[in-house]
Each structure stands twice: as structure tokens, then as C-alpha cells.
Structure 1
Amino acid sequence: MPEFRSRPPRQYPPFFEKIIPITLGVLVLVMFLLLLVAIGVLVGWIG
């Protein structure tokens, strides 16, 4: 089957291609929320 032979082999499965950006996005979102809560507590808006 030439269509499979012409494709370059992948170093890692495509599952990681989807999970890595999602994980990075979630981490950035959590860090942003923690920073927002910390600033809010320092200023006195929350608690």
C-alpha cells in the first residue's frame, strides 16, 4: 500500500498532540485564576 509507505513515521501518537496544548491551556488558566484570587485577597476584594 503506497499511501502508508509515503507517510513519514510519527515519533509520538497523535493523542499527545491534542493533550499537550489542552494541558498547557489549563495550567495557564489555573495560574491566572490563582494570581487573580491572590491579588483580590491582597487588595481586600475577596474575604
Structure 2
Amino acid sequence: SIERINLKVMQIMAIIGHLTDESLKRGRSAKKPKIEIWNQSETFLMY
């Protein structure tokens, strides 16, 4: 359903935001974790 898809999108955005915040705290580039999480989110959306 649309509601379920929206929930997954919100979860993914929260994960991306969390990883970006963590990477900034460590002084790393925020690009790398975003690419990694997008690869994971593609698999996540299969379920």
C-alpha cells in the first residue's frame, strides 16, 4: 500500500540522516555512507 511505501521511505531517510550525522561527527565525508545506505535500501525495498 502507499502508506507502507511511505513508511519505508521515512525509515530510509532516517537511516541516511543518522549515518550522515555520525559521519560528520567523525569528520568523514558524508558521501560514502550515503552511497552504502542507498545500496542497502535497494535491497530493503525488495521486501
TM superposition score category, shorter chain reference? 0.5 to 0.7
Residue correspondences, number: 30
* RMSD, matched Cα: 1.2
The question of 1:33 aligning with 2:12 is answered: no
Q: State the identity %.
A: 20
TM-score (norm. length: structure 2) = 0.59
Unaligned 5+ segments in structure 1 are: 1-17
Unaligned 5+ segments in structure 2 are: 31-47
Q: How does 1:11-26 map to 2 (within 5 A)?
A: 18-26=1-9
TM-score (norm. length: structure 1) = 0.59
Largest Rg, 1 or 2: 1
The higher relative CO (CA closer than 8 Å, separation ≥ 6) is in 2
